Amino acid sequence: MSMLNKLMLSAAALGASSAAFAGNGAVADEFKWMTFTVFGVIIAITMAITFWAARTTHTTSEFYAAGRSVSGIQNGWAIAGDYLSAASFLGIAGLISLYGYDGFMYSVGWLVAYITVLLVIAEPCRNIGKYTMGDILAFRNDPKKTKTVAALSTITVSTFYLTAQMVGGGVLIKTLIGIDYEISVIGVGILMLAYVVFGGMKATTWVQITKAVLLVTASIILVIMVWAPYGFSLPGYLQAVVGDADVQKQVAKLLGDKAATMTPEELGQRFLEPGLFLKNPIDQISLGLALVLGTAGMPHILMRFFTVPTAQAARTSVIWAMGIIGGFYVLTLFLGTGAAMLVGPDKIAAVDAGGNMAGPLLAQFLGGGENSLLGNFMLAFVAAVAFATIVAVVAGLVLAAASAMAHDIYVGVIRGDHATPKEQVVAARVASVIVGVIAITVGILAKGQNVAHLVALAFAVAASSNLPAVFLTLYWKKCNTTGIILGMIVGTVTAIGLVMISPNMTYPKAVIASANKVLSGEPAVPAKEAAPAVERSSFMCELFAMEGCVLAKPAQAAAAEKPAKPGAAEKLAGLNARLPTLETDLAKAATPELKATVEADLAKVKKDIAAVEKAKAKAEGDLAKFEGQTTSIMGLEKPFFLLKNPGLISIPLGFLLVIFGSLFTRDKRAEEMWDELYVRQNTGINAEAASAH
Amino acid sequence: MSSSNFNWAVIDADPKFQALHRKKTFFLWGLMVFSIIYYFLLPIGAAYYQELFKTKVWGVVNFGLLFALSEFVVAWVIAFVYSKKANAQFDAMAQEIINDVNSGRI
Residue-wise pLDDT tens digits, A113-144: 999 999 999 999 999 989 999 999 999 999 99
Whether B15 is in a domain gets the answer: no
Lowest-pLDDT range of A10-14, A303-307, A614-618, B41-45: A10-14
Q: How many structural domains is chain B composed of?
A: 1
The mean per-residue pLDDT over the stretch B11-40 comes to 94
Contact status of B98 with chain A (Cβ, < 8 Å): yes
The sign of the torsion formed by the CA atoms of A629, A631, A637, A639 equals negative
pLDDT digits (tens, 9 = 90+) for A419-473: 998 999 999 999 999 999 999 999 999 887 777 678 878 999 999 999 999 999 9
Q: What is the reported pLDDT for A78?
A: 97
Q: Calculate how close chain B gets to A344, using CA atoms only, in Å.
A: 20
Report for A4-13, A87-96, B74-83: range of highest mean pLDDT? B74-83
Inter-chain CB proximity A682 and B94 less than 8 Å: yes
A399: closest CA among A669, A615, A193?
A193
Q: What is the reported pLDDT for A655?
A: 97
The mean per-residue pLDDT over the stretch A508-537 comes to 82
Determine which of B60, B67, B100 to mutate to test the interface with A (most A C-beta atoms within 10 Å).
Answer: B60
> Which residue does chain B place closest to A331, by CA atoms?
B69
| Rounded-to-integer distance, Cα A460 and Cα A495, Å | 6
| Rounded-to-integer distance, Cα A436 and Cα A432, Å | 6
Please check the confidence at residue A509 and state whether its pLDDT lies above 50: yes
The mean per-residue pLDDT over the stretch B58-83 comes to 96
Lowest-pLDDT range of A288-302, A439-453, A524-538, A631-645: A524-538
Q: How confident is the model at residue A24 (pLDDT cuts 50, 70, 90)?
A: low
Domain boundaries, chain A: 2-507+641-683, 528-625
Contact status of B11 with chain A (Cβ, < 8 Å): yes
Determine which of A118, A137, A644 to mutate to test the interface with B (most B C-beta atoms within 10 Å).
Answer: A118
- The set of residues, in sequence order, having a beta carbon less than 8 Å from that of A350 and lying 6+ positions away, is A611
Inter-chain CB proximity B42 and A273 less than 8 Å: no
Inter-chain CB proximity B28 and A329 less than 8 Å: no
Whether B16 is in a domain gets the answer: no
Residue B24 or A615, more confident: B24
Q: Calculate how close chain A gets to B29, using CA atoms only, in Å.
A: 9
**Residues A46/A51/A55/A57 CA torsion (nearest 10 deg):** 50
Nearest to A285 among B43, B60, B79 (CB): B43
Q: How confident is the model at residue A351 (pLDDT cuts 50, 70, 90)?
A: confident
| Rounded-to-integer distance, Cα A451 and Cα A390, Å | 15
Q: What is the reported pLDDT for A456?
A: 79
- What CATH number was assigned to the domain covering residues A2-507+641-683? 1.20.1730.10
pLDDT digits (tens, 9 = 90+) for A136-168: 999 999 999 999 999 999 999 999 999 888 888
Q: How confident is the model at residue A65 (pLDDT cuts 50, 70, 90)?
A: very high
Whether B69 is in a domain gets the answer: yes
Contact status of B32 with chain A (Cβ, < 8 Å): yes
Contact status of A278 with chain B (Cβ, < 8 Å): yes
Inter-chain CB proximity B59 and A678 less than 8 Å: no
Cβ under 8 Å to B: A residues 289-308 = 292
Q: What is the reported pLDDT for A452?
A: 66
Please check the confidence at residue A535 and state whether its pLDDT lies above 80: no
Please check the confidence at residue A60 and state whether its pLDDT lies above 50: yes
Q: Which residues of A touch B98 (CB under 8 A)?
A: 683-685
Distances A21 to A9, A36, A194, A570 between C-alpha atoms, Å = 18, 12, 22, 37
Whether B81 is in a domain gets the answer: yes
The sign of the torsion formed by the CA atoms of A457, A460, A463, A469 equals negative
Q: What is the reported pLDDT for A317?
A: 97
Contact status of B93 with chain A (Cβ, < 8 Å): no
Give the percent of chain A with pLDDT over 70: 96
pLDDT digits (tens, 9 = 90+) for A224-276: 999 999 999 999 999 999 999 999 999 999 998 888 889 999 999 999 999 89
Q: Which residues of B touch A141 (CB under 8 A)?
A: none
Average pLDDT, chain A: 88
| Rounded-to-integer distance, Cα A57 and Cα A66, Å | 8
ipTM: 0.94
Distances A85 to A76, A92, A161 between C-alpha atoms, Å = 15, 10, 10
Q: In which domain, by residue range, is B92 found?
A: 26-103
A477: closest CA among A674, A249, A621, A270?
A674
Please check the confidence at residue A17 and state whether its pLDDT lies above 60: no
